[in-house]
Amino acid sequence: MIQVQDFHKVYNDTPAVAGLNFAVEPGQVLGLVGPNGAGKTTTLRALAGVIPATQGRLSVAGHEVADDPVAAKRQLAYVPDDPNLFDPLTVWEHLQFFAKTYQVDGLESKGAGLLERFELIDQRDTLAQELSRGMRQKVAICCAYLHDPNALLLDEPLTGLDPRGIRTMKDSVVQRAQSGAAVIISSHMLGLVEDLCSHLLIIHRGRQLYFGPIGDARAAFADLHGDATLEEVFFRATEGAGRPENMES
C-alpha cells in the first residue's frame, strides 16, 4: 500500500533524509521513530505530497506521488503534528469541506458518527479558532477518517488529547488497520509505538538504522537481551556503535 524506495531529501545542500527504503502493507501499522531532526516529518510530508522528494520513488496504493499526486492523495490522509484548521469555519463546516473535496457520500451519518466517537458533538457549530488544542487535533482526525483512506499518515497523533481521547485514538488506529488500511505513526511516545505497531522504522540523521517487524528489533542488536524494551532498542540503535547486522534496506 505504501512503498518508499531510495528516498532522499536535500534542503540547500543539507541532506534531511538519505536513502530510506521501506514498505507498509494493508493491515500493518509502522512506527516511525527517531530523535528530533531525524527526518520523520520530512518523510511523512513527502509521502503526503506536501514536499517533493529530491531523489527516489514514493507510491501510495500503486500511484506514484510525484507522477500522479491527485490519485495518490485520494488514497491517503495525513494528520500533521500541529494541524492547521480554517479558523473561520465551524467543526461541521470542516467536515463538509473535506466531504466535497474527497466526494464523500453520506456525510450526515458518517460525519455525525465521527463527531460522536471523538466527543465533538457539542462543538459541531463551534468555530475552529475557539477550540482547544486537543479539540483541534480531534477535528483533524475526523476529517482524515472521513473518506476512509487506504493509507493513514499520523505525526504525533496524541498531542493535546486527554486520556479518553487517547484511548479513542488508539482504538481507531487498530480498527483502521484491521479494516485493511496501511498506517504510519510517527511518535516520540515509544509506549504507543510498542502497543500499536506491527513494524518499526528507526531513522537517525536521515539514515535508516532498522526496518522490520517490531518483534525482531531486539534480535537485530546482538548485545540486547531477549526482554529488552523498545526504549532500550531505540537508544541502542541511535546512540550505540554500529548498525544492526540484519538491518533491512
The pLDDT value given to residue 241: 42
Containing domain of residue 15, as a range? 2-239
The pLDDT value given to residue 56: 97
Please indicate, yes or no, if residue 244 is contained in any of the structural domains.
no
Please indicate, yes or no, if residue 8 is contained in any of the structural domains.
yes
Length of the chain: 249
Question: Do 160 and 134 contact (CB within 8 A), yes or no?
Answer: yes
Please indicate, yes or no, if residue 20 is contained in any of the structural domains.
yes
Q: Is the pLDDT of residue 182 over 70?
A: yes
> In 78-189, which ranges are continuous DSSP H helix?
91-101, 107-117, 133-145, 163-178
Please indicate, yes or no, if residue 101 is contained in any of the structural domains.
yes
CATH code at 214?
Answer: 3.40.50.300
For residue range 226-248, list pLDDT tens digits in order: 677 889 889 988 886 445 444 44
Average pLDDT estimate for 4-22: 96
Residue 80 dihedral angles phi and psi, to the nearest 5°? -70, 170
For residue range 68-108, list pLDDT tens digits in order: 999 999 999 999 998 999 999 999 999 999 999 999 999 99
- Count of structural domains within the chain: 1
Please indicate, yes or no, if residue 246 is contained in any of the structural domains.
no
Task: State what percent of residues in the chain have pLDDT above 90.
Answer: 86
Question: Do 139 and 87 contact (CB within 8 A), yes or no?
Answer: no
Please indicate, yes or no, if residue 247 is contained in any of the structural domains.
no
For residue 115 the three cell numbers come to 463527531
Please indicate, yes or no, if residue 133 is contained in any of the structural domains.
yes
